[in-house]
Amino acid sequence: MLLSLILIPLAAALICLLIDSRRVYEYATVLSCTAISGIALVIAGAALSGGIAGSPGGAIYADALSAFMVVVITLLSLATSVYSIEYMGGELEHGHIDAKAHRYYYLLYNLFILTMLLVPLADNLAVMWMAIEGTTLVSALLVGLYRKRSSVEAAWKYIILCTVGITFALLGTFIFYYASSGASGGGRGALEWTALLAMAPRLNPATVRLGFILIVVGYGTKAGLAPVHNWLPDAHSEAPTPISALLSGILLNCAFYGILRFAVIARASLGYPFVRDMMFLFGISSVVAASIFMLIQRNAKRLLAYSSIEHMGIIALSFGVGGPFGFYAALLHILNHAIGKPLMFFVTGRIKGRYDTVETEQAAGVIKAMPLVGAVGFIGIMALAGAPPFGMFVSEFLMLKALAAGGHWVIMGVFLAAGGMVFYGLLRSFGGMFLGAPTSPAPVGQSMPAHPPAPPRIPLPVGADVDRRPAVRGFRGLSSGIVMLLMAAALLMLGLYIPGPLDRLITLSAGIIGG
C-alpha cells in the first residue's frame, strides 16, 4: 500500500520518458495523481482507525502525521496536474516553451511528486534527508525550465543556497546519530525516528542542542524561514506557475516537516523552552521580514512568495507555542496554506494568460474582465490575509489563543502589528488588481513610462479593450476552473466547519508532535 505511493509516480515518469504523445503523458500524470490521492485517503482512514499502515523500523513508515502530510501532498498534486494541462498547454501553444520542454516538464513533475512523497514516508532520518535533497535537485530543473536569463539565475541561486543549507542539515543528522550511539553505550546508534524518540531522554543534551540548531538552520533554508529565505522569492517568481504552486504549497511544508520530526526528539531531550525559543526566533523574524517586503512588492508572484515566508513563520510560531491549540493550529495552517497559496498562483497564472503581465498595477480590473477568476482570486486574497470567515482565520486565531494562554504578549503584539502590515500590503496590491478600473493596454503604457507594455503577440481586433489574448476556453479551461472553485470552497468550508475525520486526523497528528 505505502509502496504503491512511490511506484505509481515512478511509472508515470517512465511513461513520460518513453511515450512521446502529448495526450498520453498529460493524462498519465493526472491519472497517477488521482490514484495516489485515493491511496492517500485510504492510508488516512487506516491511521484514523488506529492501524499504522507501515511498520516502524522498515524502510517506509506512516503514522497519523505522515498520513496527514501525504493527503496534503497528493490532493495538491492532483489539483496542480489538472491546472498544468491548461497552463503548460497554453505556454506551449504561445511558443514560450518547445514540445521537448513540455514533455520534460511532465517527467520532472512526476519525479518531483515522488521525492516529496518520500519525505513523510521515511522513518530513517537519513533517507528523509536524501528525499529532501532530491526535491531540490528535481525542482531546480523545473525552476529553470524557461531557460531565460532570470530563470537560470533563480535556479542557480536556489540550488546553491538550498544545497549549502541542506549540508548543514545532514551534519545535524550525523550529530543526532552520534548522540544516539552515545546513549546506547557507545554501540551502534540509530537513525530511525521511532528508535531515536524511544531513547530521547537518554541522549546527551549538549550534543542534541548542537544538532538541533544545525537542523533548524539547514531545513529552515529550504522551508523559507527568515533570515535564510533569500532563494525563495526568485525561485517562486521565475518557475512555471504550477510549479510555483507546488513549491509554495507543499515543498516548504515538506522541509518544515523535517524540522518537526527532529523537534519532537529535541523536545523530549532538551525540554520545551529551548525548542520553543528557536521556533519563536525564526517564526517572528520570518513574519516581520515578509511583512516589510510585502509593503513594497508590486509583482504578484513575488508578493505571493513573500506571503509564503510569512505563513511559514506563522506555522513556526504555532508550533513553537505548542500545547493542544498550538500544534492543532500549526497543522491546520499547513492545510489552509496548501490550499490558499496554490489557488492564488493558479489565479495569477490565468491573469498572466490574459494580460501578459503579473505586475499588479498593469493588470487592473480583473473582476470585470474575468468575473469568475476575479471572484475566486479575491476569496483567496482575503483568506491569505487571514480575514474571517476563511480557514486561515481559524488557525491564526487558535495560535493567538495559545500565545495568550502561554503569556507571550510581546510575540503576540509583534505578530499582530506585522499581520496588519501584511493585510494592508496584500489588499493594496491585489485589491487594485481585482477591483480597480479596467485598464486597456495603451493607458497603462502612458501612466507607467518605466514599464512599456510588451508588443501584443496577436493583432487586436477592432473594439477589443482588455482582451489581449483569448480567454481559456474548452474542456481544459473548464476542468481547471472547477478545481479552482473547489479550492475556494474548501477554504471557506475550513473557516466555518472542519469535517469530523479531518478533525480527528489533525488531533492524532498533533498528539504525535506533542510527544
The verdict on whether omega for the bond into residue 227 sits within 30 degrees of 0, i.e. cis, is yes
Amino acid at site 166: I
Query: Which residue, among 292, 293, 263, 291, has the nearest Cα to 279 in the 3D structure?
Result: 263
Q: Interface with other proteins by CB under 8 A: which range of 41-49, 128-136, 379-387, 494-502?
A: 128-136
Q: Is 137 in the site for other proteins (CB under 8 A)?
A: yes
Q: How far is the CB of 92 from other proteins (least distance, A)?
A: 20
Does residue 140 touch other proteins according to CB under 8 A? yes
Binder among 297, 318, 395, 509 for other proteins (CB under 8 A):
297
303 touches other proteins (CB under 8 A): no
CA dist., res. 369 & res. 416, Å (int)? 35
Positions in 186-215 near other proteins (CB under 8 A): 189, 191, 204, 206-207, 210
Q: Does 6 bind other proteins (CB under 8 A)?
A: no
CB 358 within 8 Å of CB 351: yes
Minimal distance, residue 247 CB to other proteins, in Å: 15
Nearer to other proteins, 146 or 257 (CB): 146
Q: Which is nearer to other proteins, 174 or 424 (CB)?
A: 174
Residue 162 in contact with residue 221, Cβ under 8 Å?
Answer: yes
Verify cis geometry, omega within 30 degrees of 0, for the bond prior to 453.
Answer: no
Give me the amino acid identity at 159: I
Q: Which of residues 34-63 bind other proteins (CB under 8 A)?
A: none
Instruction: Work out which of 34, 181, 184, 440 binds other proteins, going by CB under 8 A.
Output: 181
Q: How far is the CB of 457 from other proteins (least distance, A)?
A: 22
Is 155 a binding residue for other proteins by CB under 8 A? The answer is: yes
Contact status, residue 484 vs residue 348, Cβ threshold 8 Å: no
**Cβ atoms within 10 Å of 455's Cβ, excluding its own:** 7
Measured CA to CA, the distance from residue 431 to residue 429 in angstroms comes to: 6
Q: Which is nearer to other proteins, 40 or 108 (CB)?
A: 108
Radius of gyration of the chain, Cα coordinates, nearest whole angstrom? 22
Ramachandran bin of 271, using left for φ above 0, alpha for ψ from -120 to 50, beta for the remaining angles: left
Sites for other proteins among residues 225-254 (CB under 8 A): 233-234, 237-238
- Interface residue with other proteins, options 101, 130, 466, 512 (CB under 8 A): 130
Does residue 296 touch other proteins according to CB under 8 A? yes
Binding part of the chain for other proteins, among 32-40, 296-304, 320-328, 496-504 by CB under 8 A, reads 296-304
| Residue whose entry in the numeric block shows the C-alpha cell 532520518 | 125
Residue among 140 and 334 whose Cβ is closer to other proteins: 140
Stretch that binds other proteins, among 24-32, 139-147, 256-264, 460-468 (CB under 8 A): 139-147
Residues 6+ apart with CB under 8 A from 18: none
Question: Which one, 27 or 174, has the nearer CB to other proteins?
Answer: 174
Report, in Å, the least distance between residue 420 CB and other proteins. Answer: 21
- Residue from 11, 141, 435, 485 touching other proteins (CB under 8 A): that is 141
Of 46 and 152, the one with the shorter C-beta distance to other proteins is: 152
CA distance 71 to 331: 12
C-alpha cell of residue 376: 475566486
User: C-alpha cell of 417?
Assistant: 502589528
Burial environment of residue 407 by CB neighbours within 10 A (0 to 12, 13 to 18, 19 or more): exposed
- The residues pairing with 299 across neighbouring beta strands, listed in sequence order, are 359
Rounded CA-CA distance 354/370 in Å is 9
Q: Is position 154 an interface residue for other proteins (rule: CB under 8 A)?
A: yes
DSSP-derived letter for residue 438 is P
The answer to whether 156 contacts other proteins (rule: CB under 8 A) is yes
Q: For residue 358, what are the contacts with CB-CB under 8 A and spacing of at least 6?
A: 299, 300, 301, 348, 351, 352
Smallest gap from residue 221 Cβ to other proteins (A) = 13
Taking the complex as a whole, the smallest distance from the CB of residue 421 to other proteins amounts, in Å, to 16
For the beta carbon of residue 352, count every other beta carbon within 10 angstroms. 19
Closest approach of other proteins to the CB of residue 170, in Å: 6
DSSP label at residue 357: -
Residues forming the site for other proteins (CB under 8 A): 124, 126-127, 130, 133-134, 137, 140-141, 144, 147-150, 152-157, 159-160, 163-164, 167, 170-171, 174-175, 177-178, 181, 189, 191, 204, 206-207, 210, 233-234, 237-238, 293, 296-297, 302
